[in-house]
Structure 1
Amino acid sequence: MTLVPSIGRELSKPPSDGISNLRFSNSSDHLLVSSWDKSVRLYDANADSMRGEFKHGGAVLDCCFHDDSSGFSASADHKVRRIDFSAGKEDILGMHDEPVRCVEYSYAAGQVITGSWDRTIKCWDPRAASGPERSQIGTYKQPERVNSLSLVGNHLVVATAGRHVNIYDLRNMSQPEQRRESSLKYQTRCVRCYPNGTGYALSSVEGRVSMEFFDLSEAAQAKKYAFKCHRKSEDGRDIVYPVNAIAFHPIYGTFATGGCDGFVNVWDGNNKKRLYQYSKYPTSIAALSFSRDGGLLAIASSYTFEEGDKPHEPDTIFVRNVNEIEVKPKPKVYPNPPA
């Protein structure tokens, strides 16, 4: 493990309150950012320019791209919005009964999927005319409040409070393909699917990450494991930090984690090794996203109120150039056989 001194360059005009998520576009270095200041912003990460901003009626808890200049937002005002920065307009795609915590767009199904604290996920057709009566495809009850969603291909992973994990096939949403309990003992913070479609990583408030696989065969399940991270020893006691964010590198399948300790670590999950740790950021890491080619990593340094309301560093977005050596798995070195 090597400590990398650079924390990257700050983007101008960051949100004025906590950053809930950020995501790179699949086709450019545009960056979509949602915030508790009720805004969704579109940045050009390379040019360090803000290309547009929409204000909502409540805190924006998540966002995702549709195409390079439009996307969807999940808001605490219970609304799911479609936002078009090139046209400068937005409309209401649908509603939940409680704050909308998560939003994803499935390119495979052409659907928007949202998860809410009303204990449901809903699917929407963004091609339909505006309004929930026209665009809503289905509502699916969950065992608890939805904390995090992730998609890969036709797999949808739903992580809820109470350590529940439901795995769906988007082609048949009538019931989950699998119902699981998190391998971790405490509340789930983030779930992210592996880019190769074989499983998902799950993080929790207890400074741990678990590596899980969709295949239920004994051989596949034998490969799953959990590991400790984002913690330190001080005065003889272990201080544990929530792991708020996971982001997979699109080329190598290695992944970064961000925690309330202000650190970003890069991991080789297959070889169970930490590859890099970047210098400490000013405050908690709230969100992470690699660019489409893996050459950039966006980092939200934003206090997540894990210690309550207290003075904290300003909310900031950093963009750092990623060197291949930081994210490329290192080959295993086997000892020479005895003569």
Structure 2
Amino acid sequence: MTAVSQSAGRELENPPKDGISNLRFSNHSDHLLVSSWDKTVRLYDASANALRGEFMHGGAVLDCCFHDDSSGFSASADNTVRRLVFNSGREDILGRHDAPVRCIDYSYATGQVITGSWDKTLKCWDPRGASGQEHTLVGTYTQPERVYSLSLVGNRLVVATAGRHVNVYDLRNMNQPEQRRESSLKYQTRCVRCYPNGTGYALSSVEGRVAMEFFDLSESGQSKKYAFKCHRKSEAGRDIVYPVNAIAFHPIYGTFATGGCDGYVNVWDGNNKKRLYQYPKYPSSVAALSFSRDGKLLAVASSYTFEEGEKPHEPDAIFVRSVNEVEVKPKPKVLPNPTS
């Protein structure tokens, strides 16, 4: 087993037994929800390093999110969308897709659960339906291709699909996308995450790049967008490029972390186009990232993502590290001295 630097953070006990598909901190506490290919969703108290609950599904769990500290939701490869009630250990099936459900999120703005599936649809659910009933579907919205990633900010929803399509919706009017876009990156999208300030989104690809995009379609708005290379290394004169699996924004400073198949987590200041920090290498690919609600903790899923097929690999692990301000706070721009 690879020795891990102490600065990687504290390793959580009782990790999933197969690939970690996602992890998310609660908006209300240091509870952490983790979905895995081992067909489980696990609830941890990250501060106490304690497993608080475990839910078994009929297939690999591809995503999860919190509703509040008493319940959450999951997206499964068995085509189901589930509500998880933490205190009782109960799970209800909210509904189904016609293919594996790849991503899920809860909209605090509308009180709906949003799911994206490989059946090329997006679905909105009302989780307040009666327990055990599936009469909670609000709407089904056809997508141009399989849904790979989605992200919410306020009433905006960004959906990234295969074929490099990106649809931007207003949740108050889902009849058609507000904007239909194409990724400015040439290769398959891996992750999309909205800026906390609601002005745009970051998009990562399998080819070691991140694009910074803006919703404002005016010339001045679009002139701000750019893309940059990351998670690469030079070896014997050639570039080795790694997929960028995860993007997580810091809730206070708006800077963001990226995680790649190179095992590194980098922190970026998007406004000043600078890398602020790189954490020591993790034992395996960084599959998912999440900052806690106050930005003081960062959860890192170190988990082989099978980009090189079946092979021996490090055990899947979750690290929770304390975040120092210097790692995530933008450095002030130095203005020229007018008297010089």
TM value normalised by structure 1: 0.98
Q: What are structure 1's unaligned runs of at least 5 residues?
A: none
Give the deviation of 1:85 after TM superposition. 1.0
Deviation per CA, 1:10-45, whole angstroms, max 9, x where unpaired?
Answer: 000000000000000000000000000000000000
Q: In structure 1, what is the Cα distance between the partners aligned to 2:176 and 2:166?
A: 13
Give the deviation of 1:335 after TM superposition. 3.3
Q: In structure 2, what is the Cα distance between the partners aligned to 1:193 and 1:23?
A: 15
| Cα contact 1:9–1:319 (8 A) shared by 2 | yes
Amino acid at match of 1:178: Q
Q: In structure 2, what is the Cα distance between the partners aligned to 1:332 and 1:190?
A: 29
Q: In structure 2, what is the Cα distance between the partners aligned to 1:336 and 1:218?
A: 32
Give the deviation of 1:317 after TM superposition. 0.1
Which residue in 2 is equivalent to 1:181? 182
Deviation per CA, 1:66-114, whole angstroms, max 9, x where unpaired?
Answer: 0113100000000000001112101100000000000000000000000
Which residue in 1 is equivalent to 2:198? 197
Q: What RMSD, in angstroms, separates the aligned Cα atoms of the two structures? A: 1.1
Q: Mapping of 1:138-177 within 5 angstroms?
A: 138-177=139-178
Which residue in 2 is equivalent to 1:282? 283
Which residue in 2 is equivalent to 1:29? 30
Inter-CA distance 42–336: structure 2 relative to 1 (3 Å threshold): same
Q: In structure 2, what is the Cα distance between the partners aligned to 1:307 and 1:132?
A: 41
| Cα contact 2:94–2:134 (8 A) shared by 1 | no
Which residue in 2 is equivalent to 1:266? 267
Give the deviation of 1:193 after TM superposition. 0.3
Deviation per CA, 1:122-179, whole angstroms, max 9, x where unpaired?
Answer: 0000001246751000000000000000000000000000000000000000000000
Q: In structure 1, what is the Cα distance between the partners aligned to 2:98 and 2:185?
A: 29
Which residue in 1 is equivalent to 2:315? 314
Which residue in 1 is equivalent to 2:117? 116
Q: In structure 2, what is the Cα distance between the partners aligned to 1:324 and 1:185?
A: 34
Q: In structure 1, what is the Cα distance between the partners aligned to 2:337 and 2:171?
A: 48
Q: In structure 2, what is the Cα distance between the partners aligned to 1:54 and 1:133?
A: 19
Deviation per CA, 1:162-217, whole angstroms, max 9, x where unpaired?
Answer: 00000000000000000000000000000000000000000000000000001101
Give the deviation of 1:336 after TM superposition. 3.0
Paired residue secondary structure (2:7): coil
Which residue in 1 is equivalent to 2:104? 103
Q: In structure 2, what is the Cα distance between the partners aligned to 1:314 and 1:69?
A: 30
Q: In structure 2, what is the Cα distance between the partners aligned to 1:250 and 1:280?
A: 24
Amino acid at match of 2:158: V
Paired residue secondary structure (2:198): coil
Q: What are structure 2's unaligned runs of at least 5 residues?
A: none
Deviation per CA, 1:304-335, whole angstroms, max 9, x where unpaired?
Answer: 00111000000000000000010000001133
Q: Mapping of 1:207-218 within 5 angstroms?
A: 207-218=208-219
Q: In structure 1, what is the Cα distance between the partners aligned to 2:169 and 2:129?
A: 23
Inter-CA distance 72–232: structure 2 relative to 1 (3 Å threshold): same
Q: In structure 1, what is the Cα distance between the partners aligned to 2:122 and 2:323?
A: 35
Q: In structure 2, what is the Cα distance between the partners aligned to 1:158 and 1:307?
A: 27
Inter-CA distance 308–132: structure 2 relative to 1 (3 Å threshold): farther
Q: In structure 2, what is the Cα distance between the partners aligned to 1:131 and 1:218?
A: 50
Paired residue secondary structure (2:327): helix
| Cα contact 2:296–2:323 (8 A) shared by 1 | yes
Aligned residues: 336
Which residue in 2 is equivalent to 1:15? 16
